[in-house]
Amino acid sequence: MDDIIYTMKKFPAFPNFIPLLLALTLLFAAVPTALGQALVSPTPDFDGNIYYMVQGNDTCLSISLKMGVEIETLRQLNDLDIDCSLIADTRLLLGRVLTATPTSGPTPTPTPVLPTPTPYDGNASVCIYLFDDLNGNSTVQGGENGIAGGAVSVTKRDGVENFTGLTTGIEDLCFPEVPEGRYVISIALPNEYNPTTAMNYEMEINAGDRVQVNFGAQKQAVLEQKLQSEAQQAITETRSPLLGIIGGGLIALAIGVAVLYGVISRRD
């Protein structure tokens, strides 16, 4: 009997363990649930702050387990006392999300819109020289001077451009601002002159060209004298062989007559 009483004093009655067992059961049941909820975080607000709404039975420990935030962090972010006292239905700051602000690069400078340049054909320089072609070889040589009074025309094929002028006999007649294109360059001689070169040329003139055109002419008297001289020379050249032939024939005839006379004299 004494042994039985001793045993009951050593081990308390079974009903005294029930509250402790229930508390341990609730604690171990709450831990997995809290750990599972730690993966879910509220959405940050516009400023990047993450808040949690405190429930009636929440403690810093339960919120730490649910949200995965250290108790000390909760205390510092929310200025809580050492006991980490909470008030239901109030917001508890869990943390802040830093939003990266994009670094603004240099503002691109817009490309200025330039006006489309107006097509420009460009200009050329055209100079005309009318010379006295004394020897008639169509080439300017030393001693052959210029002729005044030649009427020059530089005309574009489409007829839009036309430049005219008179030769001075001293220097070239120049047109420094002739637009590029295809032109006919011609000249009308003074009355007492005849041409020794072509009187018009057609050519393509490009921007930046410096065109020199020489026209040759002779006075009519000089030309006529030259023609007469050439004709006389031709006649002389024609007569000279003929006279030689006639002279040779007469000599041969004289020799033949002399031979014949000698033969007849011997017979007699």
CATH homologous superfamily, domain 40-97 = LysM domain (3.10.350.10)
> Quick one: how far is CA 16 from the chain centroid?
100
DSSP assignment of 146-213 = B-EEEEEEEEETTSS-EEEEEEESSS-EEEEEEESEEEEEEEE--TTEEESS-SEEEEEE-TT-EEEE
Does CATH number 2.60.40.10 belong to domain 123-221? yes
Angle at 124 (CA atoms; ends 123, 125), nearest 5 degrees: 135
Per residue in 22-57, pLDDT tens?
Answer: 555 555 444 444 444 444 567 888 778 888 899 888
- CA separation for the pair 28, 20 (Å, rounded): 12
Where exactly are the structural domains of the chain?
40-97, 123-221
Per residue in 197-256, pLDDT tens?
Answer: 999 999 999 999 999 999 999 998 766 666 667 777 766 666 666 666 777 777 877 777
Tokens of residue 27, six digits: 């604690």
Model-level pTM greater than 0.75? no
Per residue in 117-152, pLDDT tens?
Answer: 555 558 999 999 999 999 999 999 988 999 999 999
Q: Are 134 and 222 in contact (CB under 8 A)?
A: yes
